[in-house]
Amino acid sequence: IRDKAELLSCQSERRFHQNIESPSGIKYHIIWSAHCIANNGNLPLILLIGQDISKEKQLEKQRDVAEVYLDSIISQIPEYVFWKNKDSVYLGCNDLLAKAAGLKTRDEIIGKTDEDFGWDPERIKRLKEIDKEVVTKGVSNTIEELIPLPSDDSKRTMITYKVPLRD
Q: Determine the pLDDT at residue 153.
A: 74
pLDDT tens for each residue of 7-43: 556 666 788 899 999 999 999 999 999 887 776 666 7
Q: Determine the pLDDT at residue 9.
A: 60
Q: Determine the pLDDT at residue 158.
A: 84
Amino acid at 99: K
pLDDT tens for each residue of 78-111: 999 999 999 999 999 999 999 988 899 999 999 9
pLDDT tens for each residue of 119-158: 889 989 999 999 999 999 999 999 998 877 666 778 888 8
Comparing CA positions, the residue from 12, 10, 11, 47 lying closest to residue 32 is: 47
Q: How confident is the model at residue 5 (pLDDT cuts 50, 70, 90)?
A: low
Q: Determine the pLDDT at residue 118.
A: 84
Task: Put the strands of the sheet holding 27-39 in their side by side order.
Answer: 14-21, 27-39, 44-52
Q: Determine the pLDDT at residue 154.
A: 81
Whole-angstrom CA distances from 126 to 88, 90, 111, 132 are 12, 16, 20, 10
Q: Determine the pLDDT at residue 94.
A: 96
pLDDT tens for each residue of 106-118: 999 999 999 998 8
Predicted model pTM: 0.67
The span from the CA of 161 to the CA of 156, in Å, is 16
**Torsion over CA: 59, 64, 69, 73 (sign):** positive
